[in-house]
């Protein structure tokens, strides 16, 4: 078996970036241990605060955020960090080569029901022309990412990772706190028969999206001529993992509700890292006619519609809009 450290070396990953990834991996092993204990670790329930998104923070949101922040601030190569749970950019170390953004616990509404949750992270080169703690540090299109991944805290804890090459999958050995390579080059089939969307929002979608989903539901008797199945995890990390493992299309489209007229998912630390993983596994990730990775960011916590997964199916969706 090849462990994460060996794979990073084999990929000629710059030493400081490799150390950064290994630090994130180490923190995720500690988060995984707390998730596994749940109520026994006193990590369930609400933290009683709201984050910048206006969402009620769970205890584990705050715990995971603080663990990741502490670990990253200790690395000289980290110049700044951004988090779903932090209103503003947090300055780290002057001269650091990298900036890191993360969603410390994606899908946290699943925590108290023992559902899938995860940590999503992305790494960019630091920008010398702006201040360490400026949001402009992160005003870089997703195509600039040097690394992206997630840890999925499920029956096993797994990490999907790309450092610019193929997307790979690693599995945590809890006793060692280390990840072993378990799938070398993820490859999303171009066609699929599975879609993921929150159907409760159907009345708020555009007519074109409503028609596209209705065709999926019509199955073999409808325009698509084949049956489709549906899944919705309530955690992007779980839905994207399923797409990476067996194909499919994941949709969080814009809708007419004020809060999600630009979709619900955040560009910086949800859409972009997932888009890089999906593209480097042969899939597509788009907003309208544009690749998500080419979207020019306008604000730190901006939301964006997300359509990603099996390339031919994503292109079919685009052709229906």
3-state secondary structure of 1: coil
CA distances from 288 to 93, 118, 244, 293 (A): 38, 27, 21, 12
- Token output for 52: 């910048």
- Return the residue of 34, 58, 242, 264 that touches ligand P6P, per CB under 6 A: 264
Helix (H) or strand (E) holding 178: strand 178-183
Piece of 129-137, 164-172, 184-192, 230-238 that binds ligand P6P (CB under 6 A): 230-238
3-state helix, strand, coil in the chain (%, to 5): 40, 25, 35
User: Which CB, 34 or 264, lies closer to ligand P6P?
Assistant: 264
Any contact of residue 85 with ligand P6P (CB under 6 A)?
no
In the complex, minimum distance from the CB of residue 73 to ligand P6P, in angstroms, rounded to a whole number: 25
Is residue 106 a contact residue for ligand P6P (CB under 6 A)? yes
Put the strands of the sheet holding 229-230 in their side by side order. 229-230, 194-196, 249-252, 306-309, 284-287, 290-291
CB of 31 to ligand P6P, least distance (A): 16
Judged by beta carbon, residue 5 or residue 245, the one nearer ligand P6P is 245
- Nearest distance in Å: CB 142, ligand P6P: 17
Local structure of 203: helix, strand or coil: helix
Pairing of the two strands 290-291 and 306-309: unpaired
Residue nearest to ligand P6P (CB): 236
End-to-end CA distance of the chain: 45
For residue 121, the Cα-to-chain-centroid distance in whole angstroms is: 7
Residues ≥6 apart with Cβ < 8 Å to 299: 135
Please provide residue 288's backbone torsions phi and psi, each rounded to the nearest 5 degrees. 65, -130
Q: Among 35, 82, 148, 236, which residue interacts with ligand P6P (rule: CB under 6 A)?
A: 236
Q: Does 86 bind ligand P6P (CB under 6 A)?
A: no
CA 169 and chain centroid, separation: 14
Q: Among the candidate windows 175-183, 184-192, 233-241, 297-305, which touches ligand P6P by CB under 6 A?
A: 233-241
Number of residues near ligand P6P (by CB under 6 A): 9
Residue span 199-228 as binding mask against ligand P6P, x where in contact by CB under 6 A, dash where not: ------------------------------
Told to check if 107 binds ligand P6P by CB under 6 A, we report yes
The verdict on 144 binding ligand P6P (CB under 6 A) reads no
Distance in Å, CB of 28 to ligand P6P, minimum: 17
| Element containing residue 29 per DSSP (H, E) | helix 15-37
The reply on whether position 304 binds ligand P6P by CB under 6 A is: no
Would you count residue 268 as binding ligand P6P (CB under 6 A)?
no
Considering only residues 169 through 198, tell me which ones interact with ligand P6P, judged by CB under 6 A: 198
Residue entry with tokens 């073999």:
220
* Binding-site ranges for ligand P6P (CB under 6 A): 106-107, 109, 198, 234-236, 264-265
């Amino acid at each position: 078996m090849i462990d994460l450290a060996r794979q990073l070396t084999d990929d000629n990953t710059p030493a400081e970036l490799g150390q950064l990834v290994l630090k994130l991996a180490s923190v995720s092993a500690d988060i995984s241990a707390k998730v596994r204990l749940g109520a026994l670790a006193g990590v369930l329930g609400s933290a009683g605060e709201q984050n910048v998104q206006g969402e009620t923070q769970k205890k584990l949101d705050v715990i995971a955020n603080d663990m990741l922040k502490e670990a990253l601030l200790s690395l000289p190569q980290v110049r700044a960090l951004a988090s779903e749970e932090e209103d503003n950019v947090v300055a780290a170390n002057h001269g650091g080569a990298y900036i890191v953004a993360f969603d410390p616990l994606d899908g946290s509404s699943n925590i108290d029901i023992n559902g899938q949750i995860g940590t999503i992270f992305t790494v960019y080169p630091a920008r010398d022309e702006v201040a360490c703690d400026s949001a402009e540090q992160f005003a870089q299109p997703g195509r600039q990412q040097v690394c992206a991944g997630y840890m999925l805290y499920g029956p096993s804890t797994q990490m999907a990772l790309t450092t610019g090459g193929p997307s790979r999958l690693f599995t945590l050995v809890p006793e060692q706190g280390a990840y072993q390579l378990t799938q070398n080059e993820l490859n999303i089939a171009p066609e699929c028969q599975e879609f993921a969307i929150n159907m409760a929002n159907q009345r708020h979608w555009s007519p074109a999206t409503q028609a596209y989903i209705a065709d999926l539901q019509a199955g073999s008797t409808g325009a698509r001529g084949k049956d489709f199945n549906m899944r919705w995890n309530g955690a992007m990390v779980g839905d994207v993992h399923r797409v990476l493992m067996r194909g499919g299309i994941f949709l969080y489209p814009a809708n007419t509700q004020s809060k999600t007229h630009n979709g619900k998912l955040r560009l910086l630390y949800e859409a972009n890292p997932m888009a890089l993983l999906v593209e480097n596994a042969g899939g597509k990730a788009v907003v309208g006619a544009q690749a998500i990775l080419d979207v020019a960011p306008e604000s730190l916590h901006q939301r964006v519609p997300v359509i990603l997964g099996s390339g031919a199916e994503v292109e079919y969706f685009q052709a229906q809009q």
